[in-house]
């Protein structure tokens, strides 16, 4: 039986023989069917609920997450649904970045809502980086134990003069390889170096091994946009259910 635990905004899922037991003092104990020993983990103090999902459809219903993140530099709320239709509503105060986030949602078919109130009087850096962090955290939460997903994705994405390749693994081993030279320092008022900053944060907090290469292209807008679209298409492949292995975690280790 699969049980889900909702702890604040976090959702944890794992197989266990009996319903989880809630022990006062913020420690959760249960017995896993696979490992057969007592398992405990510290949990937050608030809003604790457990329920079971009897079939795969209910499990996939859970592939959503909301992350709120507040620092002295940014206040962010993001919501994603991995089983969406690519619907988006992204407002960060940075027009070009909103345009890129819209591409990420539309071409991954991950529903995405982003709100960010950042210190744009300094520059766009904290806003872009911190949205990447929050989206990566939301991805990690929404994926749960990654049971039944394809795990890998890749895409060659063309856009006029531009050809970008993205290949990724939802490995929980963050690593960004970024070979995307953007010829101008700015796209409008947007600093083009922030494209890499976004994917650095997103891959680090989403647990993604991510390689992105510009293979062709001379127009900065096209190169940046093709990078977001290529990653989006690769993400779509990687997060989608694999019907041939619906109940397995896609690793010979048994966990990701
Ligand atoms: Mn565009």
For the chain (length 256 residues), average pLDDT per consecutive 10? 49 52 47 37 35 47 93 98 98 98 98 98 98 98 96 98 98 98 98 98 98 98 98 98 93 94
Instruction: State the CB neighbour count (10 A cutoff) for residue 172.
Output: 15
CA of 226 from ligand 1 middle (Å) equals 9
Q: Comparing C-alpha atoms, which of 104, 111, 117, 106 is closest to residue 202? A: 104
CA of 231 from ligand 1 middle (Å) equals 15
Q: Which domains does the chain have, with CATH numbers?
A: 2-54 (no CATH), 64-239 (3.30.230.40)
Q: Coil, strand or helix: which one is 210?
A: strand
CA of 98 from ligand 1 middle (Å) equals 11
CA of 186 from ligand 1 middle (Å) equals 14
pLDDT digit string, tens, across residues 165-217? 999 999 999 999 999 999 999 999 999 999 999 999 999 999 999 999 999 99
CA of 99 from ligand 1 middle (Å) equals 7
CA of 84 from ligand 1 middle (Å) equals 22
Q: Coil, strand or helix: which one is 41?
A: strand
CA of 225 from ligand 1 middle (Å) equals 6
CA of 68 from ligand 1 middle (Å) equals 28
CA of 122 from ligand 1 middle (Å) equals 25
Determine the Cα–Cα distance for residues 208 and 205; give it in Å rounded to an integer. 8
Exposure letters 56-86 (e unless 16+ CB within 10 A, then b): eeebbebbbbbbebeeeebebbbbbbbbbeb
Determine the Cα–Cα distance for residues 256 and 249; give it in Å rounded to an integer. 7
Q: Give the pLDDT score at 57.
A: 52
CA of 83 from ligand 1 middle (Å) equals 25
Determine the Cα–Cα distance for residues 3 and 51; give it in Å rounded to an integer. 6
Determine the Cα–Cα distance for residues 151 and 137; give it in Å rounded to an integer. 17
Q: Comparing C-alpha atoms, which of 102, 99, 123, 132 is closest to residue 208? A: 132
Q: Give the pLDDT score at 153.
A: 98
Q: Give the pLDDT score at 25.
A: 47
């Amino acid at each position: 039986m699969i049980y889900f635990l909702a702890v604040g905004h976090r959702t944890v899922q794992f197989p266990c023989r009996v319903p989880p037991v809630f022990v006062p003092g913020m420690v959760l104990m249960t017995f896993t069917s696979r490992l057969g020993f007592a398992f405990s983990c510290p949990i937050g103090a608030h809003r604790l609920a457990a329920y079971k999902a009897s079939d795969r459809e209910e499990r996939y219903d859970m592939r959503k997450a909301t992350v709120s993140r507040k620092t002295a530099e940014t206040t962010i709320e993001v919501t994603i649904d991995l089983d969406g239709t690519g619907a988006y509503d992204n407002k960060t105060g940075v027009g070009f970045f909103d345009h890129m986030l819209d591409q990420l949602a539309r071409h991954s078919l991950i529903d995405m809502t982003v709100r960010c109130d950042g210190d744009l009087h300094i520059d766009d850096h904290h806003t872009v980086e911190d949205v990447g962090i929050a989206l990566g955290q939301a991805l990690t939460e929404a994926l749960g134990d990654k049971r039944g997903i394809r795990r890998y994705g890749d895409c060659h994405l063309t856009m006029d003069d531009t050809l970008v390749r993205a290949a990724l693994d939802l490995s929980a081993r963050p690593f960004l390889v970024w070979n995307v030279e953007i010829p101008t320092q700015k796209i409008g008022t947007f600093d083009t170096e922030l494209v890499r900053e976004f994917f650095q944060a997103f891959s680090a907090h989403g647990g993604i091994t991510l390689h992105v290469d510009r293979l062709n292209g001379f127009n900065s807008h096209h190169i940046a946009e093709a990078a977001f679209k290529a990653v989006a298409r690769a993400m779509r492949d990687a997060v989608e259910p694999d019907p041939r292995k619906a109940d397995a975690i896609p690793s010979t280790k048994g966990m990701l």
